[in-house]
Structures are given as C-alpha cells and as structure tokens.
Amino acid sequence: MDSKTKNSSPLDISVQRLALTQDDLNENFAYQRRIPKGCFHATQKILKKEFSRERLKRGLKARFPVIECVRNYSKNYIIGDSVAGITVGIMQIPLGMAYAILGSCPAITGLYSSFFPVLIYFFFGTSRHISQGTFAIASLMISKPVDRLSTPDEIIHRSLNATINASNTMINSLHPDVAMYSNIQVATAVCLLAGVMQFILGVLRVGALSMYLSDTLISGFTTGAAVLIYEYIFSWITHANLATMIIGAISVVVLAFTSEVINPRAMSKIKVPVPIELLAVIVGTGVSYAMSFNENYGVIIVGNIPGGLPPPQVPPIKSLFSEIFVDSFIIAVVTYVISFSLARLFAKKHNYDINANQEFMAMGIANVSSSFFSCFPMCVALSRSMVADSVGGKTQVTGLLSCIVVLIVLVAIAPLFQCLPQCVLAAIIVVGIRRMFLQFRDFIHAWKISKLEAATWMITFLSVCFVAIDIGLGIGVIFSLFTIVMRSQLPYVTTLGYVNDTEFYLDTKKYNAAVEKKHIKVIHYGGPILFANAKSFRKTIYRVSEVNPILVAKKMEKLNKKQDFKSRSQKTVVIDMSDTKVILDSEGNPIFMHGETNPAFENDTGVSQTRNNIDRMNQKNLSSSELLKTGDQEPDDREDTPFDHVITAMKRGIVAIIIDGSPISCVDYAGVGAISQVIEEYEKVGISVYFADLPSGVLEMLDSCDFRSRIRNQVIYPTIQDAVLHVEKKETKTENPISFNSSTKL
C-alpha cells in the first residue's frame, strides 16, 4: 500500500464518557480563572518589562533593523543584491524624473527623491524587498497642493530648475506684499509635515490600524488613481503639437512592446530585464539634442538640470501649515498604506516578519530628513519591487546599491538630460501604470467571494474617479468600516442537524445527512454579541428558531381569556394538533406534550376531562384550524402573522433551543443582558435555552457580569452533544447518569 492510500484510510475513533455540564468540566479538569491584576501591580509589571535589559536590547534592534541585516548578511546574497540594486537604480532614473513632472515639480527633484529617502529607509525600514522612492499615485496627490499653492509663473514653467533662493528673489520683487512659494517649497513642506505625522503615528502604535484597510480597498483606490493619472496626462494632448504627439506615441509603442514581448523572454534567459525606460531617456535626449526638438518643433523639454546634490534648506512649514495640513495627512496615510501592503505581501512570500509601527516611523524619518534636500514624499513602487525580487534581491542592501547608482547620475550625468522631451517621460508613466488597470480582475474575484468586498472595491474606485483622490479614499475607508459593522450585525446563522452514529452537528443547509433533533432546535450563531447587535441577536434567534416567545406568550394569554368552556374549574385546556398535544394551564402558559405516551400527559389527573374538552371544542366549532384564527394580530416587522409562531411551537413541540457558541468571539455587558433576556423570554413559554461550546473568554465575561445569578438553571454545556443529552434526560424524567458513547470513522 502506498503512502497516499495509507494516509487516506479511515481511522476508528471511540469515545465513552459521562455527559458534562460546564461546571462539571471546570471542576474535573482544574479550571483556573484569570484574575485581573490591580492597576499599580499591572503598571509596575509593564515598566519592569519595558525597561529590562533584554527589552532594551530588542528595542534597539527593532529601531535599527540594519543591525540585524548586517549581522546576518551572507555572501550568498551579494550577487542577487548587486544585480537587483543596479537594475532598480537604473529604473529609478527615468521613473524618478517622470514622476516628478507628474507631481508638478522639476525633474531633478525626482532624482533627489530616489536617493535621500531611500538611503535613510535602508537604516530604519524592516522590509527587505520593497523599492522606496517615487510612485505615480504619490506624485499625483502631491500635485494637488503644489498646483494650488505655488505661483502661476512656477506652474507654467515648472520644468525650469531655478534655485529656490533665486525663485524667491524674483517672486518677492514682483509681489512684495504677498507671500508666494515655488513648487519645490510647497512639495518639501508637504514632505516634512507628512513625515512628522508618520513618525508620530508610528510612536503612537497606529500601524496596526492599517489592517483595517483591506487589499480590496487598496486595489480599488490605486485603480481609480491610475484612471486619474491617465486623465491628467491625456488632458494635455489638446495643448500638444503634432511633433510631441508623434514622439509620445512612438515612445509608448516601443516601451509597451519591450515590456510585454521582449522582457519576458529576457527574464527567462538572463534573469535581468532590458532597461528600456533608461534607453528611451538616453535615445530621446540624444535625438532631441541633435534635431533641436525644442527650437525647431516646439517640443517641451525637461530644461535645466543642476549637477551635484542640492544644498539643505528649511521648508516653509510654518507659513504653509494650515494650507497643507489635510493634504499632508492624506499623503502620509496613503503612501504608508500602499508601502506597508506591498511590504506585507513580500514578507509573506519570503517568510519573514515586518513591524507595522516601525515602518511608519521609518517612512516618517526618511521624509523628514529628505525634505531639507528638495524631495517630495516617498512611496513604494510595485514595478521596481517586483523586478528587484525577480532578479534575486534578498535584503535591504538592494536599496543601498540603487542609491549609489542614482548618486552617480546626480553627480556626473544628470545635466545631460536637459534636452529630454517631457512627452517621453509621459510615455514612461503611461506604460508604467498600465498594469494597474489589470486590478479590475480583483473586483471580479471579490464579487465571486463576497459582495460586500466587491462593493468596497467599486465604491472606492468610483469615488476616486468622480469625486477626488483624497475624498474618494475617505469614502472607501468609511464604507469598508461600515462593512465590518454590517458583518457583525449580520453574522452567519443556521440550524444544525445530527448525523447518525456520530457526535457531529452539521449545517442542515449544506449536509443532507444532518437531521434536526425532534423537539430540539440547535442554532449556530457565527458572530460576537455586543451592544451594537444585542437587539439583532434576539431577533435572529426568534427568526431561526421560528418561535417568537413574546408573541407566543401574548397570544396564549389572549386565547386563555377568550375560551369559554363550560367547566371553568378545569385546570388545563388541551389543543389537539394531529400527533402533538399542547396543554395550556390556567394562566395561559403552554406546556407542550408529544403523544399520548408522554409520562407527564398520562399522569395528568385531568386526562379524561381534557380529552372530553377536545370533543367539546369540536362540538363548539373550536377546531384547531379555527382556533388559530382567533385573536388580534400583533404588529411585527416580518411578513408572517404573529400567530404563525404559535402554530410552529404547537406543531413542532419545541422544548429546547441550543445555541452553538463556538464562533462567538466576544460578548460585552449589553450582550450578556441580551443572552439573559432570551433565556428568560423562552422560559415563560416553556422552552429552555442552552449554550454550548462557549470560548473561555466568553465564559469569563459571563462570570464577570454575574450571569449565573440571573439564570436559575444550568444553561451552559461544553459541547452540543452534552447539551442534547441533558435535554433528552430531562424530557424522559430519568435519574440515571448520561453516558456519551460514539464510534466514528473519519
């Protein structure tokens, strides 16, 4: 027999034990409740832990992940990191320049932003594979405050790389009474404020909240942003001349063909993609210089690009604070979410951990530091990160080597690109973000899995496209949080049925072999019970059990008052419902009896008289069918009539409801109150409610709320089978111990 056949053969499992209550389980297996510590003791313990030598050592490593990177660096990583670093550095050059133009900044600022923040992230970042620097979405968001707050002259001539001091001198001489700022000043002020916000959020440990921003939301947001980028670029076509359109079209075709056809083959053979973007920049610059595109054909070029590194300057954060606060916060959150989402993806792929709060602080430190060197906020780029991973990048050293490549360009080569046509950079952007449109497949995939997830994607996408990129993200986040609330309000609830010769209770909607126990309703409730859904919890139990105890109690009370029998001394009234008999006592409370062999029914002293009363009901035309028509209808938000609950209770003879509590993750004080209320309401109409398989945290919450003092009987059991067996024992009136015995093949 092969291993596959051997492993798939069934195993016999035999279990024999006494059926237990939850108290029996706690007593027999030495349950120990966790006792909350006092405030002083807890604070002392936390301080001792936080300031221990081991904690400080771990904290130092956490704040400077580069220490672990250097200590554990292997020589086997050198080749992969070197190839990846050089490749990414080459990609950074054209993409940085292109995304700077997209952000309404001079092209040189894109190279600065591809060097300074990436270098600083190397020391503080925890991700080994993502490529920080410039990205289309961040650039588009930066362009909004830059276009709004920079001077008109700078907007028109933003490709000119005048220094900030010279720009301020010119502007102030023209407008001495009005404070005006260059596009670089606005961009760096946004970078500084966004970095401060990111660092503060990291210190406050807000990074974990990024888990609430689902991948579906990020996909819808980035797809909508891609549409805006296309719209932004193509809106300039009407202002472009024929030569610009021809150069741009040729560039798009060449870039797309190389990316889709040539690079996949190159990657399969030499593992390194053809640097087509850099080649396009070099060729475009050379041809433009040789043919004087700007002078002869009116093609807009990049313009003056200073060589070397920029001198440090303080951004005008104080005077622009109120104007850029909202933009900076949105950019801080969006760039972090995009970066962390991609970092989490690579960490999962390569089986290592990243620190959400440290990532926040790393991006904050990088943005704050680089803002003094004419940089705009950094963000991760999917294309560069995927290339770095595919060519063998293993650690953060990839980013360090890419910085060296960019530094060489800044010091020695950058001024040579001043003749580069801007339409070539626009073509690089168009081709670079084309894959973002493939994220429409995420919507189709989400639709097949969850309609709420698909709605989150579509609402975020449409909001970004038709409202605004920042407002659209806010709408998407609000709707995403709304879906979380909806899931808590609408948990999966179903009835469970018993599978013969096993201890399994399975979903009756999905397992044909699962059959409901007679007179017992087992309900699976798949969600928490909190103040927000306490009321809906009660309504859900009423709906799934098909018996609303409030309506049953009211209707029974009315029936008791309206029945005019000759013998008013009779203590009970029996309603004959085929094979089920329902006894109403003198107070109108129902007692459900199942067949004439039921001991309680046979032992009733008035059995002969009650049988005669059945005949009297028939003689007085008070048959069960007509009896059900009596009484006024109570208002209800369901389509069925209130007396339908009475019909169901009579026909099925439900004596117990067992709620499977295994998926109930938590309860609060209001939830405990809702549970107690459900139990009490059903007790009034003769139906017992039990809970089975509750998690220990929920049990402790029930004990903290003094739940047992509210409930007279034992209602909590360790498993559904224990609860069912105790209900059956109660119904059969036996005093013998209950034995749990099953033999199952798995």
Work out the number of other CB atoms within 10 angstroms of the CB of residue 644. Answer: 17
Q: What share of the chain is helix, strand, coil (3-state, %, to 5)?
A: 60, 10, 30
pLDDT at site 745: 37
Q: Can you tell me the distance from the alpha carbon of 741 to that of 744, in angstroms, rounded to the nearest whole number?
A: 10
The residues pairing with 206 across neighbouring beta strands, listed in sequence order, are none
User: Does residue 316 contact residue 167 with C-beta atoms inside 8 Å?
Assistant: no
* Dihedral angle of Cα 586, 591, 593, 596, to the nearest 10 degrees: -20
**610 CB-near residues (< 8 Å, 6+ apart):** 570, 572, 573, 574, 583, 604
- Single out the residue of 421, 51, 483, 496 nearest to residue 245, CA to CA: 421
User: Residue 739: its pLDDT value, please?
Assistant: 57
Joined tokens for residue 359: 């990532």
Residue with tokens 């951004």: 315
Residue position matching structure tokens 């040729």 = 250
Q: Residues 376-389: pLDDT tens digits? A: 999 988 788 888 88
Q: Does domain 491-550+644-733 have CATH number 3.30.70.270?
A: no
C-alpha span between 93 and 282 (Å, rounded):
11
Report DSSP state, residue 50: H
Three-state SS string over 514-531 comes to CECCCCEEEEEEECCECC
Distances (CA, A) of 448 to 218, 272, 600, 703: 18, 36, 53, 42
**What's the pLDDT at 576?**
46
Say what the pLDDT of residue 8 is: 53
Q: What are all long-range contacts of 440-448, with beta carbons under 8 Å and residues at least 24 apart?
A: 440/223, 442/215, 442/216, 442/219, 442/220, 442/223, 443/219, 443/220, 446/216
- Structure confidence by residue, pLDDT tens digits, 640-676: 444 555 555 555 578 899 999 999 988 988 999 999 9
**What was the pLDDT predicted at 152?**
57
The structure tokens listed for 205 are 């440990």
In sequence order, what DSSP letters do the residues of 546-589 get, joined into one string?
T--HHHHHHHHHHHHHH---S-TT---EEEEETTEEEEE-TTS-
- Evaluate the CA torsion angle 544, 545, 547, 548 in order and state its sign: negative
- Phi-psi map region of 527: left, alpha, beta (phi>0 left; psi -120 to 50 alpha): beta
Torsion-angle region of 11 (φ positive above 0: left; ψ -120 to 50: alpha; else: beta): beta
Nearest to 310 by CA among 111, 540, 516, 47: 111
Residue type, 443: F
**All CATH 3.30.750.24 domain ranges in the chain, comma separated:** 491-550+644-733
Enumerate residue ranges in the chain where pLDDT < 50: 1-6, 153-178, 564-581, 584-589, 591-642, 743-746
Q: What's the distance, CA 451 to chain centroid?
A: 14
